[in-house]
Structure 1
Amino acid sequence: MSWKEDSDCCSWDGVTCDSATGHVIGLDLSCSWLHGNIPSNSSLFFLPRLRKLNLASNDFNYSKISSGFTDQFSSLTLLNLSWSNFAGSIPPSLSNNITQLAYLDLSYNSFTGQIPSSFSNLQQLRHLDLRGNNFVGEIPASLGNNITQLTYLDLSVNSFSGQIPSPFANLHQLRHLDLRSNKFVGKIPASLGNNITQLAYLDLSSNSFTGQIPSSFSNLQQLHHLDLEFNSFVGKIPDMFTNLTQLSFLDLAYNELIGSIPSSIFELLNLTSVSLSFNNFSGSVELYDFAKLKNLKVLALSNISLSVSTKLTVNSSFPNLSELDLSACNISKFPDVLRTQHQLEWLDLSKNQIRGRIPSWMWDIGVHTLYYLDLSRNFLTSIDHLPWKNLEYLTLDSNLLQGSLPDLPPHMVELLISNNNLTGEIPSSFYLGMNNFQGTIPQTYAKGCNLTYLRLSGNHLEGPLPPSLINCVKLQFLDVGNNNLSGPIPECLGNSTLEILDMRMNKFSGSLPQTFAKSCVLVSLNLNGNRLEGPLPPSLVNCRHLEVIDVGNNQINETFPHWLDVLPELQVLTLRSNRFRGPIGDTKTRVPFPKLRIIDLSYNRFTGVLPIWYLNGFKAMMHGDNNSIEVNYMRSSNYSYYESISLTVKGNDIQMERILTIFATIDLSSNRFQGEISKVLGKLKSLKSLNMSHNNLTGGIPSSLRNLTALESLDLSSNKLAGRGPQFNTFGIDSYSGNSGLCGFPLSKSCSIDEASEPTTPTGFIEGDDASSWFDWKPAMLGYASGVVIGLSIGFMAFVTGRPQWFVRMIERKQSRKLTRVIRRGRAGRRSLLVHL
């Protein structure tokens, strides 16, 4: 409002002028709601004497940095473009011309590419912030060689790779160094501690650094923040902390450290936060060794492979904590130290051996402050009282709780209490799955109901689903699977705020809701295993965020719902075991099902030729990442909910309780498809499983199927295929049985030509055993040969039904990064995995 033409611009907000010349030398337009790009002829560039320019926190619509910045601002000493939606690469001329820059902040934009080597010209630079972009490549050595005046360097949350350059040792003035959340590798150079002794803040977390923690860190006597979590550091913690008297924050979690905890840590009296969780220490530690740290607020010792003794010593006191994390610490009772913790906000005692009732003195800790409490996976038998006024997250699953639940706190957001033996009335909210609740779901939900999360799966509930759920205007998650619920699905659910709707394995009947609103936000729809009839509603296309549609094992009688192919995020489509009929035909959609990775049309009445147009459009199966090093599962980002699916593998119907994000499969079995197998299938290079058995397919096996080098399971049995079938001669005979016209190895029927002339076959396949022995104690054997994908998936299916619990724990632990690294190392790693199995 102060920018008026009839007034002196030097009085305008955000404008600074030279008192002697009147020239504009500073312009601060941060948080000014600016929008659009900045053309090179902008009046902004008529200010050649500008020294400081701040355009932070605006919206420049992913435009590139204008050439005007580099051509007109040779006097600039400060440039701040953070949080402003700039994009593209950094023009080299930026650092060629603005050589007087002392402060440069480009953080939290969408910049790409590498740091230009011309940054070496910025020899006056003291502050450089590039965090939160998409930069790649190695850090140029010139950044350490020439910009020796740097005191602040933040390259975090990018995709930088390689090692820390040795010229970093020249940054003697550096006080703040943040390299977290990148792809750096290798050992930390000792020079980092020997030469950059002014460091006060050092964050190297969430990378792939290896080797030992340098003992030279003992020289960093000004250090107050040290974060090395989520790396691969090995060896013992060096006893270097005697000199680090200023240290207030220490995080060494999620590494592979061994040995004992150095006693020098207990002498760092300024420490406010200590996290050593998820390492491989040995021996034991006394909790009261930390009692000397009077300023301590956060203590995390979960999963450190040693016993934590909580024995109270005479006349000992403990600092007032806000967070205490003692998961998997071999604790057998509630620690006495808790008796004095009246300001506690976060408490995790999960995965211990605590037995019996929760003691009454626990009701006094954090009565007004505690908002997170995890007591899961212990041996608790009852809970009589929940006195915490502001408790939002309570996890009690996998205990021995009996009886009914007490009244819940008023601000509860999530209650996880599955796998107990609770009975009595059902509270009308939260996560109460896998218990012994019986009867009906509460039928009345008042208008304005604040319920957001309802999970009642795995009980013995009967009766209908209450239509009054529509009154819960914030309901986003509804899971009532694996019960005996019946009746129709309330029509109102199609016009709700639901993101997750899981009603599988019940007795629901009738049709699906026919009207899904344009405001639909559904991500997952699972209705598998009911008695639903009628057509799928075309209004489902309004749910543009849908990733999973599973209506398998119902009685739906209609033709293929081709209109679903426009859903841009759909990854899983399961129509198996229904009464779908007729040919699939072509589609008018240019790229149908662009993200589909799993399609199961088995056990229906589809006819005609294979859907070549669709197969040719499955882009996600053509370009998937077969070499992914991450073991991730499809899951909801907001809730502890993993997607699952039923599959037929080697003739066995099995339930995959978690779906790997790199898993791709096509199942067209047990239909009435005819004609030849299309060579288009050879384009789907990410396929892990292909089942076209029990159809009327004719002709030969196309040679293009040789391109499916990621394939781990193949079933073409019980068709009318003919000719030589050597393309995959490392698959077992059961992959081809029931095709009287096929000949050649591995089939018993010989061809008329010499079998020695068989072409070579792709490596990386393993012969199948018979169906019963294959799905046994070696679920990862298949993955040994070709990517461990089905092996891990089937392995999960195996152990959720009672297979070896040590393997369950290995997968479920947050340290599954170890397994990822085994897989990453290729064949040698796969052999190592089999040794573990």
Structure 2
Amino acid sequence: MSRDCCSWDGVVCDNMTGNVIELNLSCSGIVGKIDSNSSLFQLSHLQRLDLSYNHFSKSHISPEFGRFSNLTYFDLSWADFSGQIPSEISHLSKLHSLSLYSSIGLRLAAHDFKLLLQNLTQLRELDLSNINISSTIPLNFSSHLTTLSLIDTGLYGIIPESIFHLPNLETLYLGFSDLRGYFPKTKWNSSASLVELDLLGVNFSDSFPESTGYLTSVRSLSLQSCNLRGPIPESISNLIRIDYLHLQDNSLNGTIPSGVFSLPSLRYLLLGKNHFSGHLDDLKSNSLIWINLGDNQLQGYLPKSIQNLVNLTSLYLSFNNFSGRVDVSLFSNLKRLSDLTLSNNKFLRSAKQLEVLDLSNNKIQGRIPDWAWSNWMFSLKSLNISHNMLTSVDSIPLQTVYTIDLRSNLLQGSLPMPPNSTRYFFISQNNLTKEIPSSICNLTSLVMLDLARNNLTGEIPQCLGNISGLKVLDMQHNRLIGTLPTIFSINGSSLKSLNLHSNKLEGRIPRSLANCKELQLLDLGDNHLTDTFPMWLGTLPKLKVLSLRSNTLHGSIQPPRIETIFPELQILDLSYNAFSGNLPSNLFQHLKAMRTNDPSTEAPRYPGSTYYEDSITVTTKGFVREIVRILYPRSTYYKDSITVTTKGFVREIVRILYLYTVIDFSSNKFEGQIPSIMGDLIAVHTLNLSRNGLKGHIPPSLGDLSSVESLDLSGNQLTGEIPEQLASLTSLSFLNLSHNHLQGCIPQGSQFHTFESNSYEGNDGLRGFPVSKIVEMLGC
């Protein structure tokens, strides 16, 4: 390496003096922190300093940076600094550009923010985005400013109108804050210079401003979610240089001005989620590549001028009142169109050469017409015709499709076979009958297969266990018989979710499931399985949900033979079986995920163009409910269900499954005492040990279950008093201790005052509210 540092990359020196005047270390992979005694601060002649995109390990920004009195350019953005920004930065009075854009917890005190703006009078560029400022906006901005970015800073109050009159302003970003404001009613001083304006989420509570028509230089205008009302003024046609117009999620109404579709440079037009009505006028701008008019009240036929939009790639028209048939010729010139969404309208036909087609929720009846297959055969990658009234699909002759969604229709007869290219096949909630053909195993590209909630019969094809890429297999709520597939691929099984709930399956749980090392959800509930407890499933390192409820499983649960077992398990449902013996203390001490509260727990994601919901049926608060989690939002979604019992009824509920923890051993033949170690399961939300033969006292350690919402110990032979410790369970909203042999006073506490007498009935020895008001007055 040369000893002359002026020849180093990123170093610039003054030709006359040899002093280092510029240091550019952006994206240099620097790790660690900068101490106040660093030799960096000896470079007193620095004029430009760029340390952006490095990793300073969440260290604080040194006040020593304030010594660089000659600095004109200073960039610490995306450099992994944290903490309070030192007030010494405001000493850099010669700065032209300051960027402290943060991805983590940088803070700037309100008085330092004001001081910074007051002293840095030469600023041209200021970017403090993602920094927690939490103050109002001061008035003293540099008149030289060309770029001002204060995105997601916690600013509040009213935007000073003077910001819109900064004479040289080209870029203004103020989104993602709690700001209110009013647009100038007349011409802005910045009208001639402003190029980008993004005020996402600023509450204007006003009509769309006529004065925006003066922004003749603007290229990007984003007023999304700004509570704008009224029509778009005709003056918008003056924005002849605009490329990006984003006005979604407001309360704009009236017709869309024809001038919008004539803007010569406009490429992105986003007007969805408003109240626009009327018909679409002629679409004249052939520069448009993206149009979103969804979720409005537009009506009538689609204009023939759509065929003029030769550069269009995406067109969203869902949730309007368009009607009539859309002739395929409308789209014949649109060679680049790859994404067309027409759902929730009143027409069916669509374009040729489509890759993505969404016709869901359109009340389409009967069978899929032949012309559709011929139009889409070679181009379509994703087809969604879910939530309609289709009754027949004989075959699906698409050649390269990846996703097919036919859920929630009225389809009857045999299961239609998709092409071999299919990765995601959803056809649940129909009325399909007959057997699942073994040819389904030819679909070797399958990632998700959803056949749930039909009336399919016969046996499950054994070969399904050999599709190595299959991640989700859902056949719940059918009439399948026979045994479970006994062969699950030893090499490379990808299965993450297997749901066969509510069928008529018999036999034992196959040992080959131990090969599915990625398995996270296993629901075999409500079948006719006959086996002992499959402790060997505990070797699955990622298993979070195990439901074996409502079978004929039996025997005692033997202690595990290995040290680590069920490390991630969060839902264990063995209810309505014939398990016997003592409750498995040795198992409880291994349930690591139930013994710690981890708020960072996240549901795993499944790849693909799907929106995957995972749910499971468990028992909580006396009712059977279905708990659902959302895994991967996209254009279609898959819901993998599981039932829970809560408050005595069978229900379906929506809840984040992987933040919900359940132990349900109800309706078995367990005996002996409740082990004290159950008090260590502090992450449990629902604990149900009802309808067994448990004896002895309720362990006081259950008072440590700080997360428990539902506790059901009813229908046992428990004795002694209700532990006072249970009164400290502030999350408890359902308690059932009925039909035991409990005695003594009912504890008093904030939660216990909310429980009715049926929580304690059948315990003749209990006293106190709400069992007996008279006895309570006598001393309980």
When normalised by structure 2's length, the TM-score is: 0.76
Listed as ranges, the matches of 1:84-163 within 5 Å are 84=79, 86-93=80-87, 95-107=89-101, 109-114=103-108, 117-119=111-113, 120=116, 121-131=119-129, 133=130, 135-139=131-135, 141-142=137-138, 144-156=139-151, 158=152, 160=154, 162-163=156-157
**By how many angstroms is 1:64 displaced?**
1.3
2:381 to 392, 403, 419: 392
Distance 1:715 1:377, change over 3 A: same
Q: Which residue does 2:355 correspond to in 1?
A: 371
Matches within 5 A, 1:11-30: 11-30=7-26
Residue 347 of structure 1 deviates from its aligned partner by 0.6
Aligned to 1:716: 737
Q: Which residue of 1 aligns with 2:266?
A: 271
Give secondary structure in 1 for the equivalent of 2:435.
Answer: strand
Matched, 1:404 2:394: yes
Match of residue 51 from structure 1: 47
Q: Structure 1's 37 and 732: CA in aligned 2 closer, same or farther, altered over 3 A?
A: same
- Tell me if structure 2 keeps the 8 A contact 1:646–1:653: yes
SS of corresponding position for 1:462: coil
Output the CA distance in 1 between the equivalents of 2:463 and 2:170: 61
Q: Is the 8 A contact 2:12 2:22 kept in 1?
A: yes
Where does residue 300 of structure 1 map in the other structure? 292
Residue 5 of structure 1 is matched in structure 2 by 2
Matches within 5 A, 1:70-469: 70=65, 73-84=68-79, 86-93=80-87, 95-107=89-101, 109-114=103-108, 117-119=111-113, 120=116, 121-131=119-129, 133=130, 135-139=131-135, 141-142=137-138, 144-156=139-151, 158=152, 160=154, 162-166=156-160, 169=163, 172=166, 173-180=168-175, 182=176, 184-185=177-178, 187-190=180-183, 197=191, 198-205=193-200, 207=201, 209=203, 211-213=205-207, 215=209, 216-230=211-225, 232-233=227-228, 241-261=236-256, 265-266=260-261, 268-281=263-276, 284-287=277-280, 289-304=281-296, 306-310=297-301, 312=303, 318-320=308-310, 321-336=312-327, 337-354=330-347, 358=349, 362=350, 365=351, 367=353, 370-378=354-362, 379-380=364-365, 381-384=367-370, 385=373, 387=376, 389-399=378-388, 400-410=390-400, 412-420=401-409, 421=411, 423=414, 425-427=416-418, 429=422, 430-435=425-430, 436=432, 438-440=434-436, 442=438, 449-459=444-454, 460=456, 462-467=458-463, 469=465
CA contact 1:103–1:125 (8 Å) conserved in 2: yes
Query: Residue in 2 aligned with 1:616?
Result: none
Secondary structure of 1:752's match? helix
Tell me how far apart the structure 1 counterparts of residues 294 and 315 of structure 2 sit (CA, whole Å): 9
| Alpha-carbon contact 2:438-2:463 (below 8 Å) kept | no
Aligned residue among 668, 687, 691 for 2:689: 668
Give the aligned residue type for 1:394. L
CA shift, 1:199, in A, is: 3.3
8 Å Cα contact 2:377-2:397 kept in structure 1? no
Task: Identify if the C-alpha distance between structure 1 residues 572 and 247 changes in structure 2 by more than 3 Å, giving closer, same or farther.
Answer: farther
Q: Which residue of 1 aligns with 2:497?
A: 500
User: For 1:49 and 1:564, how far apart are their aligned partners in 2?
Assistant: 63
SS in 2 for 1:145: coil
Q: Pick from 753, 759, 770: which aligns with 1:735?
A: 759
Is the Cα–Cα contact under 8 Å of residues 331 and 352 in structure 2 kept in the other structure? no
Any unmatched runs of 5+ in structure 2?
600-615, 661-684
Match of 1:574 in 2: 573
**1:318, 1:741 → 2: CA distance?**
84
CA contact (8 A) 2:157 2:180 kept: yes
Which one has the largest radius of gyration? 2
Task: Rate the CA distance shift 1:736–1:211 in 2: closer, same or farther, 3 A.
Answer: farther
Encode CA deviations 1:51-104: one digit per residue, 9 max, x unaligned.
3333444444x33145386266443333334444x1422431451444433333
Q: Is the contact made by 1:425 and 1:437 (CA closer than 8 Å) also made in structure 2?
A: no
Query: Given the superposition, is the C-alpha separation of residues 580 and 279 from structure 1 closer, same or farther in structure 2, using an over 3 Å criterion?
Result: farther
1:228 and 1:332 map into 2 onto residues whose CA distance is: 30
C-alpha contact 2:710 2:735 (8 A) present in aligned 1: yes
Whole-Å Cα distance in 2 between the matches of residues 509 and 99 of structure 1? 80
2:526 is paired with a residue whose SS is coil
Deviation at 1:434, TM superposition (A): 3.1
- Residue 488, structure 1, aligned to residue 484, structure 2: yes
Shift of 1:395: 0.8
How far, CA to CA, are the matches of 2:621 and 2:729 in structure 1?
A: 24
Q: What per-residue deviation string (whole Å, max 9, x for no partner) do you get for residues 430-452 of structure 1?
A: 223334164235468579x4433
Shift of 1:209: 3.3
Local SS of the residue matching 1:454: strand
C-alpha distance in structure 2 between counterparts of 1:294 and 1:522, whole Å: 50
The number of equivalent residue pairs is: 697
Instruction: Give 1:685 shift.
Output: 6.4
Question: RMSD in angstroms over aligned alpha carbons?
Answer: 4.3
Q: 1:583 matched to which residue of 2?
A: 583
